[in-house]
Structure 1
Amino acid sequence: MKRNIFVVALEEQQRQELETLRHSDGFNVHSLLSVKTAVESERFSFNALLDEARRKLEAFDGSIDAIVAQWDFPTSVMVPILCREYGIPSASVESVLKCEHKYWSRLEQQKVIPEVVPEFCGVDPFADDPLSQVTLGYPFWIKPVKAFSSHLGFKIENEEQFHAAIKEIREGIRQLGDPFNEALRHAELPPEIQQMDGNSCIAEQIVAGVQGAPEGTVYRGEFNVHGIIAQPNSVNKDIPYDRLEYPSNLPEHIHHEMIDVSRRFLEHIGYDNGCFNAEFMWDEKKDKLWLIEVNTRISQSHSEIFIMVDGMSNHEVAIDIALGERPSLVNRQGVAAVAAKCYIPYEHKDGIVRRIPSEAEIEALCERYPGTKVRIDVAPGTRLGELLHQDNFCYRLGTLYVAGEDHEQIEERYRACLEALQFEIEPTE
């Protein structure tokens, strides 16, 4: 009998990715909640989403064998709660929240891996004088303890910028902060976190460098990394990063340090029976490693490049753990030595899309560079300012998947693709 796997907010692309798994013919895959509901809602209640997922599971006529997360909050916290209720192996809600809450995570990191933790402090944006709480010198970064990407994140260079950022944060933080507070009530919180709830901020020392991200699992206390992703410097100097490359070409000693730091932190917070990906910044000039954050799931944004290089989606390990089986991923069985997920960026100025690349243009590009895939996320008439979950520094018009023999070829092909893909965008006031 086939086992039933529920994936929260499953897209058609991911359904195809799941067909690359070893035993894909032995299970049925079901989407639990839609992408629009669980990922793209501008306003939502965490508890209402959780209850909707519960109703769908209760109404299902069959066994519920695995529930898998592949997106950020609210999915990342919802899944361990549901797994606990259905007796499915999963990390504890408390250990997940110790990663999800940026300030709480920094407090825990400081206890066990202080050498990679930037200077930080908590800030209540609704206090009478928020600036008095900041213990860092200019410049610094301020952001909510829970946010999408870099939304409501600001680089602060002076007092005037700080007050302007606080005004904007006050207007928008509750959109995610209120549902995050609902999620926090599902765990016992220490006093310092009860006072720094989901509508709080963290100020942090600014760090620079090249990003790297080990992705792995903890299964019954056994820690393992199945791949390391790199985020090279952007081909556009105005954008911090524009692509993910796999496998990483960072120095081997940095790989070892990232893995060791990730292991020590996850052991410290009691994280077990779950997937993770940890984001680091390596300052090459100082040979200094910084931990940015730890995500408590596989990254669905890595899945396609794992398939291109390894021949199998990273969903394999998430499903293994949910089924109570020791996770493993095949290695280097794909079609490319190196693969990259690249963004199609547009300068951060609002506008209306008037033209996108034609299907014929895209087909010609894919024939020119075998292994290339192009996914356009806008259409004629799209208003860029209305796109969800965009970075502060640019809009993303779509995604490119590029295959190559080495990292230099990846960059060359990426530049060529950006030049070939022509968009027309009419600026707006």
Structure 2
Amino acid sequence: MTRNVFVVGLNDYNAERLKRLRGVEDVAFHQLLTPAQVYETQEFDIPAMLAEAEAQLDAFDGSIDAIVGYIDFPVSTMLPLLSAKYDTPNASLESLLKCEHKFWSRQVMNEVVPEHTPNFTAFDPFDEEALSKIGDAGLRFPFFVKPIKSSGSRLGFRIDSPEDFDYATEKLRAEIGSISEPFNAILEKADLPEDIRTIEGHYCMAERVIGGRQCTVEGYVHDGEVTCYGTVDSIRYPQVLSFFYYLYPSTLPQKVQEQMWEISRKVMEHIGYDNAGFNIEYFWDEVDNQIWLLEINTRIAQSHCDLFEMVDGVSHQQVTVDLGLGRKPDMPHREGAHNVAAEFFYRVFFSDATASRVPSRAEIEVAAEQVESTRISSYLQKGMTLSQLPEQDAYSFAVASIWMGAKTRSKLLWNYEQVMKRLNYEFDDILD
């Protein structure tokens, strides 16, 4: 009997990749909502999206065996609601929000791993006294601010001075509504403690600046058992907060990785998160041998799918699909064609600009052919402004991503340089 798996925001590339997973010979994958509706936009009408998804599911003439996704907000927060209505396995909405509501998440972390949780407080960016209240909470410059619900590094700022805080709050006031309004629509459906209910979607977090070598632990919970299966390094450009590339497997000492995995198990058990994948971002301060927990994401990292397929043999969407079907994930280890793999980000460091030239599809194909198993996604079209790109950090714009594998890290970096020589972007109206 065919089992039907509905994937929110499924695109053509991922539809093909899902067919390469283990144990899907009897599985039919169906798109639930389009990519344009869930991530090729910065406007999220969650009630309308849920209503359309439910109408599509109600009209389906067959069994609904799993409802899954691999995309951050708003998809991650919609999945528990859809799964609860159609009786498919997933984490509860409240356990998911203990991860995704950044203030609630920090409270939970502080309960179980306080030694790995930086000092933090919530603040209202529309409050003229916010900066003094942050100081009253014990935070001093420098600190970091971000929305209580963010995706990627959007609207995250390092604050070194009152002027930095003024700049950040100006940006937050102007743009946070695109996050806060849809997130509030989710919060209204959850059973929240009163102290969390008062911290609404427009609130932000201020946290002690933490640093070191950054990485992401990928894992899942199945029937209450927490399993971690990989660590991916997050390498930043020198002297800036923007990511240069993600590298798998991690180069961190094995003992440090094992400590992070144990922290992950302890936190996810404490939260009560179950029957879903997750990834947790960490810093390791090598000088002080201190591990800091940065944040928890309630999904696999889509950016890491190619990396796991290249190194381990299949995309870790294996985890998402298996859990969605109620079975323990059958995730292989080191069965891929490459020893190491990475996603590189081709970035420009302008305040804004207009793309006057972008690589053609043929040029991208030629560039990818320079190295076996290379995949390139260009995010710009001629005439677009950089500010039209969704989900960008506050310091740069990623105009393309390049996924590739190799035998060694040095060979991987050399291959990236060869591919980049083939990609030519030009810009007009540049704002530095």
- Give the whole-Å Cα distance in 2 for the aligned partners of 1:141 and 1:132: 15
Match of 1:404 in 2: 406
Structure 2: any 5+ residue segments left out of the alignment?
Answer: none
- In the TM superposition, residue 416 of structure 1 has moved relative to its aligned partner by 3.4
- In the TM superposition, residue 73 of structure 1 has moved relative to its aligned partner by 1.5
Q: What is the one-letter code of the residue matched to 2:271?
A: I
Match of 1:300 in 2: 302
**Deviations for 1:130-187, whole angstroms, at most 9, x for unmatched residues?**
1122031001111110123222222111222222322321222121101111101121
- Give the whole-Å Cα distance in 2 for the aligned partners of 1:360 and 1:168: 38
Kindly tell me: are residues 239 and 197 of structure 1, through their superposed partners in 2, closer, same or farther at Cα, counting changes over 3 Å? closer
Give 1:146-295 correspondences, 5 Å limit: 146-234=149-237, 237-238=239-240, 240-295=242-297
Q: 1:354 aligns with which of 349, 353, 356?
A: 356
Q: What is the one-letter code of the residue matched to 1:148?
A: S
**Deviations for 1:191-210, whole angstroms, at most 9, x for unmatched residues?**
21111111101101111222
Q: What is the one-letter code of the residue matched to 1:273?
A: N
- Give the whole-Å Cα distance in 2 for the aligned partners of 1:197 and 1:120: 17
Question: Greater shift after overlay, 367-376 or 278-287?
Answer: 367-376
Q: What is the one-letter code of the residue matched to 1:297?
A: R
Q: What is the one-letter code of the residue matched to 2:211?
A: A
- Give the whole-Å Cα distance in 2 for the aligned partners of 1:400 and 1:209: 25
Q: 1:395 aligns with which of 391, 394, 397?
A: 397
SS in 1 for 2:243: coil
Match of 1:422 in 2: 424
- Give the whole-Å Cα distance in 2 for the aligned partners of 1:96 and 1:389: 21
Q: 1:330 aligns with which of 329, 332, 335?
A: 332
- Give the whole-Å Cα distance in 2 for the aligned partners of 1:66 and 1:289: 36
- Give the whole-Å Cα distance in 1 for the aligned partners of 2:13 and 2:65: 22
**8 A contact 1:20–1:311 mirrored in 2:** no
SS in 2 for 1:255: helix
- In the TM superposition, residue 239 of structure 1 has moved relative to its aligned partner by 5.2
Kindly tell me: are residues 321 and 363 of structure 1, through their superposed partners in 2, closer, same or farther at Cα, counting changes over 3 Å? closer
**8 A contact 1:94–1:188 mirrored in 2:** yes
- In the TM superposition, residue 240 of structure 1 has moved relative to its aligned partner by 3.5
**Deviations for 1:349-379, whole angstroms, at most 9, x for unmatched residues?**
3222122234554444434322222221212
- In the TM superposition, residue 238 of structure 1 has moved relative to its aligned partner by 4.1
- Give the whole-Å Cα distance in 2 for the aligned partners of 1:382 and 1:145: 30
- Give the whole-Å Cα distance in 2 for the aligned partners of 1:32 and 1:109: 33
Give 1:68-217 correspondences, 5 Å limit: 68-134=68-134, 135=137, 136-217=139-220
Question: How many residues were matched structurally?
Answer: 428
- Give the whole-Å Cα distance in 2 for the aligned partners of 1:258 and 1:416: 35
Q: What is the one-letter code of the residue matched to 1:215?
A: E
TM-score (norm 1): 0.95
- Give the whole-Å Cα distance in 2 for the aligned partners of 1:415 and 1:222: 42
- Give the whole-Å Cα distance in 1 for the aligned partners of 2:361 and 2:256: 42
Match of 1:413 in 2: 415
Q: What is the one-letter code of the residue matched to 1:141?
A: F
- Give the whole-Å Cα distance in 1 for the aligned partners of 2:424 and 2:145: 35
**8 A contact 1:17–1:304 mirrored in 2:** no
- Give the whole-Å Cα distance in 2 for the aligned partners of 1:417 and 1:91: 41
- Give the whole-Å Cα distance in 2 for the aligned partners of 1:288 and 1:243: 23
Structure 1: any 5+ residue segments left out of the alignment?
Answer: none
Question: Greater shift after overlay, 391-400 or 41-50?
Answer: 41-50
TM-score (norm 2): 0.95
